[in-house]
Structure 1
């Protein structure tokens, strides 16, 4: 059971990091787009 909890915890932290990364990349791209326009 503890292994499952640890796996869920790691997956949750990983998904959060992934979402933050995608958000930052999108923000950077949109900023470049606005700068080019």
Structure 2
């Protein structure tokens, strides 16, 4: 199976990782404009 690169998806990327959701303990995490995970 070929490896696919993950494209930068902006808000969809946050939804994928459940970022900013208190119940998932990710409220302190976010994705910057370069697509990097920041705390």
What TM-score do the two structures reach when normalised by structure 1? 0.20
The structure, 1 or 2, with the larger RCO (C-alpha pairs under 8 Å, 6+ apart) is 2
Greater radius of gyration (CA): 1
- Which has more strand, going by share of residues? 2
What TM-score do the two structures reach when normalised by structure 2? 0.20
- Which has more helix, going by share of residues? 1
